[in-house]
Structures are given as structure tokens and as C-alpha cells.
Chain A
Amino acid sequence: MNIATVFEIVLASVVLGLAIWTIAVAETYSATVGFVAYSLLVALIWVRLDAVDVALTEAAIGGGLGGVVLLGAAARLRDAEALTVEQASPIVRMSAAILSASITAALAFAILLLPDPAPTLAPTVVANAGATGMTNPVTNVLMAFRGMDTMLEKVVLLLAIVGVWSLASDRAWGGRPGPRHQADPNGVLAFLARLLPPAGIVVGVYILWTGADHPGGAFQGGAVLASMWLLVIMAGLADTPPVSSRWLRLILVAGPGLFLAIGLGGLWLGPAFLSYPAAFAKPLILGIEVAMILTIAATLGLLLAGAPERSSQ
């Protein structure tokens, strides 16, 4: 048993232990903090498995936006929790436990049943990497070989925003999402919100740009940009834009819109939907990704900001 195996076993048992503790602990708040730490460790595991693209997403979502959502929700729930005396009956808890245990067992069974070596398209993807002029296989799959799935994912993001906005009351419709955050303009938070975003924007653009040949891409970059935007909003330095803003809506549809337009162009001028002409594949894909990073940043930021609750005046 070499040292790398020991390391993997330790990492796996730490993550499993933390996961079990997160489920077992009674207090929502402690469980949430445990979960934030858990997602950091999972990012380590993804790197160890050589899935750095996934690790980047896990770090950007789990470390940044997910933590903000969960901790904010736990803080709001805390007051409600103190008031409720109601407890789920033993039967309900028992059946929930049985359900979760059987799902885990089914997943474990399915993994053990996989043929060895598992069926994979990875060699084909690597062999055709030159077709788009980009060498990151994940970007090739997402943007070219399975471009349709990625486009529909962006439409799902748009639907999520529509869903959040539809929670607004009639009076607030068209107004600004979320509360107006306030903090001392000379305080620590405002200081951070002035210092960090310039660096963060550079990192976000870098992650998008490096995604052509190395792990990275529009979603990870967009999540970083969204975090920076949210930091400025939380520090009270900027307000959320009113949802009736035409600019905002244009940015929200820019990514899927351009993707769809280029896809239809492939159907019209080329052989199939979303087929890129070989000479222009890389510029076209980069163009889509630039539009997408803006859409993703705006969408994630607005999802966290919440439903419109103040009129725009």
C-alpha cells in the first residue's frame, strides 16, 4: 500500500464522516456550516479523480454562492425553528431513512454492476479534439459534441429566473429584487467589496478563456462573476436592477439566444442543427461562451437576490 492510497482512504473517510455528521446533527445551522466544509472537501476529491472542470464548479458554487444561499436560509429559518414544537412522527422518520438507505443501496449496486472497464466514449472525444480547434475535451463535449444539451441547460436557467420572479407580489412586479442591503461605507465589508471585484473579474474572464484548452469555461467563470456582483450588492455599494429593465432582460436571453441563432444557422447553411463550419468553430464557440458568461453571471446573481419586492422608484 503506497502513500497515495493511504491519502485517498483518509480523504474518503473524512468526507464520509463529515457527511454522516451533517445528516445526524439536529441544529440546521451547524449542519449548514458542515455542508460548506463538505463541499470544499468534495472539490479536493474531484481534483484527485482528475476531474478538474467539476472541481472548479464545485469550488465556485459550493464555496461561494451555495454557502451564501444555505447560510442565509438557515439564519432565516432559525427564528421559525425556535417557535415550532412539532416533530415528525417516528413512522415518517423511519420511512425517510428506509427510502434514503435503499437509494444508496441501489446506487452502490449499480456501480458494482458496471462492466470493467466501463463503457466510455472518452477515446473518441480525445481523438476528435482537433475538430473544433480546442483541446479541452470537456469544452468540446459541452459546446460541440453535445451542444444541444448545454443550450437547453441555459434555457432551464432562464426558466428558473422566471420561476423566482413569479413569486413577486403584483405591487412589486417590475421592481428591484431582494432587500436593499446597507453597510457602513467605510466598514470592512465595503472595503472588501471595493478591493475584491477587480481581481475577481480578471479571474472570471481568465477561467472562461483558459477553458478552451485547460479546465475552465463559461459556467465556472460566470459563477465567479456572479459572486463578485453579489458581494457589491451585499455591501450596499450597488442596488439590484429592476426586473423590468430592458438591458437586464437582454443579457438574460443573450446566451441561449445566440446559441440558438448559431444552431439554426448551422441548419440553414450547413448540414445540421448546431453544426459549426470547421474553419470558424473556435471563434463561434468563443462568441457563444462570451454571451453565456454574461447570462450565467446575471442569472445566478438574480437567483440569489430573490423575487422582486420593491418598486423601482
Chain B
Amino acid sequence: MSVARDIMTIAGVSVGAFFFLAGTVGLLRFPDTLTRLHALTKADNLGLGFVVLGLLPQSGSLRDGLKLISIWMLALLAGATVSQLIARMVRQSGTTR
């Protein structure tokens, strides 16, 4: 049982770390601000989501698991709101380089 849990953790955290990598590369390599924003918020939230998914089997109790999930929910909400606000600001100021 413990082996199955560890495999799930390793898989989840690895995929999460990959999405963080993808997001960072996107932030550094994409050509303009709006595409960079896209790369960041998508990859970033997926990355955290998979890390949380990977850590769930390691959490000791139901309460700890729910806490992990609510952290991810809050991060999703933050990412969605911030990307909207920044995108609108960039579009208004007209400097999308």
C-alpha cells in the first residue's frame, strides 16, 4: 500500500515540477507580455495542482488533505484574477512588448 502511495507521490510531484519548468521557460522565452501571461498562469496552476495531488497520499489526515486542496483552490482563484487584471492593464496601456 505504501509503495502505491509513494509511486503516486513521485508521479504527481514530477509532473508538477515539469509544469513549473514549462511555465518558467514560457515566462522567459515567449515573445510578448500577453503570451507570457498565458504561459505563466496555466503552467503555474497546473504545476501546483499536480504537486498537491502528489502530496495528498502523504498527508496524515483528512483535515490535512482538505487544507492542501483549499490551498490549490486559493492559488487558482488568485491566478485567474491576477491574470485578468494584468492583461486588461497591459491592453489598456497598449504596450504589449
Contacts and interface: CB of A to CB of B under 8 A. Distances in A.
B85 A189 contact: yes
B7 interface: no
Interface stretch (A100-108, A129-137, A191-199): A191-199
- For the side of the interface on B, what is the size category? under 10
Nearest to A200: B74
Interface string B78-89: 000100110010
B25 interface: no
A278 interface: no
B11 interface: no
Nearest to B87: A188
Contacts of B81: 188-189, 191-192
Residues of A contacting B: mostly: helix
A191 B84 CA distance: 12
Contacts of B70: 199
A196 B70 CA distance: 12
B74 A199 contact: yes
Interface string B40-83: 00000000000000000000000000000010001001000100
B77 A188 contact: no
A192 B77 CA distance: 8
B85 A188 contact: yes
Of listed A188, A189, A195, A196, residue having the most chain B CB within 10 A: A188
A29 to B, nearest CB: 14
Interface string A186-210: 0011011001100100000000000
Contacts of B84: 188
Contacts of A199: 70, 74
A233 B97 CA distance: 33
Contacts of B74: 196, 199
B45 to A, nearest CB: 16
A188 B78 CA distance: 11
14 contacts: A188-B81, A188-B84, A188-B85, A188-B88, A189-B81, A189-B85, A191-B81, A192-B77, A192-B81, A195-B77, A196-B74, A196-B77, A199-B70, A199-B74
Q: What are the 8 closest A-B residue pairs judged by CB atoms, nearest first?
A: A188-B84, A192-B81, A188-B81, A188-B85, A195-B77, A199-B74, A189-B85, A196-B77
